[in-house]
Amino acid sequence: MKRNGPILSLTSILLYCFMYTPIVVVAIFSFNASKYGVAWKGFTTKWYGVLFNNEQALRAAENTLILASASAAIATLLGTLLGYGLSRYWFPRKKFVATLMYVPVVIPDILMAVALLMFYGLMRDALGIFELGLSTMIFAHITFQIAFVAVVVKARMVGMDPALEEAARDLGANRWNVFWRITFPLMFPGIMSGALLAFTLSLDDFVVSFFTSGPGSTTLPILIYSSVKRGITPDINALSTLMVCASVLLVAGVTALQPRKNYHEK
């Protein structure tokens, strides 16, 4: 194998600096004693204490977790079914449906958010349902998450050897058994990455959340964003630091849980 040249190493280092320095700065400032300032006024951990007494921030964290887990769970279920169906079966207009699936992936967030807001408004006037709140946010998140999950699951299915399923059926397994014993375990890493993707998408979504939220359903991204213009208080830095740590742990955990190699790839 060719050794990587110094230019490549340098570029990589710069790129990683570019990506991670802002996060490190936020983490450092969460320990700054100064309240509004940019100047360093000494080390303190008191903002973490302030944060845990900040009822609004805690409620936002709770809302964020409920929203992310509920929407990711439903979207993973539906997205997996969609991805499975699209890669295993033929039906009329399949190509059209498959293309349609990419719309939520490429559509600008703001368009989606405003469209959902208008749709909810219409439904509310016509049927009296979809009062803005955590439930409308969950639906909104599911709408864009499904596509991402389906794309990931479909990609996973494409890489699977159909001979394995055929062999199982050849040996007398019925459809149900084939699915649960062969197909599902092979799909599982794809489903997990889809679920994780859906979860993180929900976790840091601001635009769609802002427009579809109602009283009392403020999430962390909304809380953080609305603190920016008045000057970020250090407890928000503390909160962001904790969020980054939680995300890193989550990703590390999922990576550790995943089997390193699947047997058919050996």
Return residues touching another protein (CB under 8 A).
34-39, 55-56, 74, 77-78, 81-82, 84-85, 89-91, 114, 117-118, 120-121, 124, 129-135, 138-139, 175, 210-211, 213-216, 218, 222-223, 225-231, 233
Closest C-alpha among 81, 86, 66, 102 to residue 199 = 66
Choice between 18 and 36, CB closer to another protein: 36
Question: Do the Cβ atoms of 44 and 33 come closer than 8 Å?
Answer: yes
Residue tagged 């699936």 (tokens): 101
Enumerate the β-bridge partners of residue 43.
Answer: 32
Choice between 50 and 250, CB closer to another protein: 50
- Beta carbon of residue 223, minimum distance to another protein (angstroms, whole number): 7
Distance, CA of 241 to CA of 57 (rounded, Å):
13
- Beta carbon of residue 33, minimum distance to another protein (angstroms, whole number): 11
Distance, CA of 184 to CA of 176 (rounded, Å):
10
For residue 212, with 0-12 CB atoms within 10 Å meaning exposed, 13-18 middle and 19 or more buried, which class applies?
A: buried
- Beta carbon of residue 130, minimum distance to another protein (angstroms, whole number): 8
Choice between 48 and 139, CB closer to another protein: 139
Choice between 115 and 244, CB closer to another protein: 115
- Beta carbon of residue 136, minimum distance to another protein (angstroms, whole number): 8
- Beta carbon of residue 121, minimum distance to another protein (angstroms, whole number): 5
Radius of gyration for the chain, computed over Cα atoms and rounded to the nearest angstrom: 23
Show the tokens assigned to 254: 């999922």
Choice between 109 and 254, CB closer to another protein: 109
Distance, CA of 68 to CA of 198 (rounded, Å):
8
